Structures are given as structure tokens and as C-alpha cells.
A and B are shown apart, each in its own frame.
Chain A
């Protein structure tokens, strides 16, 4: 699964730590999501989307392999 969390974060100008604190996960998890190493649960994806005030499928997108 591809995602644009890093881009969205850059637009909002916040750090990984700030995003992590806002949605209640560790910075490590945000980093893993951004680098595509970890696929977040639906709840976490929805939380991220709500934080950026965008629809979930504009941030998270299926890959060719999915």
C-alpha cells in the first residue's frame, strides 16, 4: 500500500513526533508507515486521514501488488 503521509506532513509543516503525539502512536510507527514498512490498521489510517482533514483514500492507495 502506498501513502502520502510524508507529503501531507510537509504541507502541514509538522514533525513525525507531532503527528505521532496527535494520533497516539510512537514516532517509530509513523516513520515505518511513511517508508512503507508498516501497513496501518483501518482505525489508524482513519485517524491519520481525520487529522489531515482529507478522505482516507486520498492518503492511502492500493499498490499494484495488493
Chain B
């Protein structure tokens, strides 16, 4: 049977968690020690990049024993994540396209910009929460009994 997998080896997951810890450290360092706005900008970009890499490594590496049941869990959580993503995209694009600002004059004009910016930053976080969260939860539930 063809068992080729696009997933990375299990060690990558550990490296990913190390990167996530590094991300927290960079964020803390930024919050505590960096007061210059230009330096803070570089710190923000670096931490964003580290976060994406860590999530990439954690989500897309194999479990210790990667078998068909675990693949099934991955499939299920990918399906759910896709569902929630599409609903979210729909709501957000409706929100952005309909230009609520024209409907409600008191609406802040640059809200659209804030929304798209926020969406770019929270996209990887959403992927992490929507895909990896349910996946780990299903794994944990099956281990519990």
C-alpha cells in the first residue's frame, strides 16, 4: 500500500514547540525592554515570522506513531477547519464588501484596514486553533478510554 506522507518527521514537532517558546520570549522581550517604535516594529515582524514557522512545524509533523486512525483524525479536523474558515471568510468578506461604513456614518473609516490587518495576523493562529486543537482533542479523547 502507498503510505507516502507529506508530513515531516516527529522531531520537527519538538523543534516547532521550541520555536513557539522562542516566540513567547521575543514577545515578552518586546513588551518589557523595547521602547523605540522602529525597533518594536522589527520585533513584531520577527515574532510573526517565528510564530508562523513554529505553527507550520507543529501542525505538519508526524505523531510518534502515525497510523491510519491518526490520519483519520487529521482528515476530520481539516474538514472542520475548512468549514469554519469558509463561514468566517464569508462573514468577513460580506462585512468588508458591504462597507458598513456607508451604512453607518458613525463607523470608523479605517476599520476595514484594521480588519484586514488583524485577519492577516490571526490567520495562522486560527489555523492552529481550528486544525491542531480538534486534532489533539480527538487524540486525547481516544487515549483516555
Interface residues in B21-53 by Cβ distance below 8 A to A read none
State which size class the interface on A falls in: 10 to 19
B97 on interface, CB distance cutoff 8 Å: no
B67 A32 Cβ-Cβ under 8 A: no
A26 B145 Cβ-Cβ under 8 A: no
Pick from A24, A28, A43: contact of B69, CB under 8 Å: A28
Residues in A with CB closer than 8 Å to B143 are: 28
CA A44 – CA B142 in complex, angstroms?
Answer: 18
Chain A nearest CB from B5 CB (Å) reads 14
Residues in A with CB closer than 8 Å to B68 are: 25, 29, 40-41, 43-44
B145 A24 Cβ-Cβ under 8 A: no
A26 B67 Cβ-Cβ under 8 A: yes
Chain B nearest CB from A15 CB (Å) reads 15
A31 on interface, CB distance cutoff 8 Å: yes
Chain B nearest CB from A7 CB (Å) reads 19
Residues in A with CB closer than 8 Å to B63 are: 26
Chain A nearest CB from B67 CB (Å) reads 4
A25-B65, A26-B65 as given contacts; A37 in contact with B145, CB under 8 Å: yes
B1 A26 Cβ-Cβ under 8 A: no
Chain A nearest CB from B70 CB (Å) reads 7
A38 on interface, CB distance cutoff 8 Å: yes
Interface residues of A (CB under 8 A from B): 20, 24-26, 28-29, 31-32, 35, 37-38, 40-41, 43-44
Interface residues of B (CB under 8 A from A): 1, 63-65, 67-70, 72, 139, 142-143, 145
